[in-house]
Amino acid sequence: MENAVKEILEHIGEDINREGLIKTPSRVKKAWEFMCSGYDKDAKEIINSALFTSSNDEMVVLKDIEFYSMCEHHMLPIIGKAHVAYIPNGKVVGLSKIPRVVDVFARRLQIQEQLTEQIADA
């Protein structure tokens, strides 16, 4: 990946040996590894680790869950807020797990519609 970043820099006319760019390929690699770290995580496992029996039948709503993702079409950042609501069916999930599920799917190349569907299906 670092060589690919060097190629891009050269292609746009940059000097890859310039002081400010020496460590850029390594930094970009680390950033991409972080931004795409959701591929090796299992959202269902996260949810199943915190499912609790409940008689609650009221809607559970979590709002303003910040997320950062990468557009699969342009490979540019997507920044947004997710709102997740569900009606318990005899079970509730620990509230901290819902933002973690959002993060798992956001840390993949995405489009908004797919992200929404994946979170709902988890």
pLDDT digits (tens, 9 = 90+) for 51-90: 999 999 999 999 999 999 999 999 999 999 999 999 999 9
Verify that 105 and 46 share a domain, yes or no: yes
Q: Are strands 109-110 and 77-86 parallel, antiparallel or unpaired?
A: unpaired
Res 61: pLDDT: 97
Res 92: pLDDT: 96
pTM value is 0.89
- Enclosing domain of residue 54: 41-121
Verify that 15 and 56 share a domain, yes or no: no
Verify that 24 and 67 share a domain, yes or no: no
Q: Cα 14 vs. chain centroid, distance in angstroms?
A: 30
Q: What confidence tier does 119 reach under pLDDT thresholds 50, 70, 90? A: very high
How many Cα atoms within 13 Å fall on the side-chain side of residue 109? Answer: 6
Verify that 55 and 91 share a domain, yes or no: yes
Verify that 71 and 112 share a domain, yes or no: yes
Based on C-alpha coordinates, what's the Rg of the chain?
Answer: 19
Verify that 30 and 67 share a domain, yes or no: no
Q: Who contacts 96 (Cβ-Cβ below 8 Å, separation ≥6)? A: 50
Res 77: pLDDT: 95
Model pLDDT for residues 23-56, shown as the tens digit of each residue? 999 999 999 999 999 999 999 999 999 999 999 9
Give CA–CA dist 100/96, Å, rounded.
7
Which H or E run contains 29? helix 24-35
Q: Indicate which CATH number applies to the domain containing 15.
A: 1.10.286.10
**What is the number of domains present in the chain?**
2
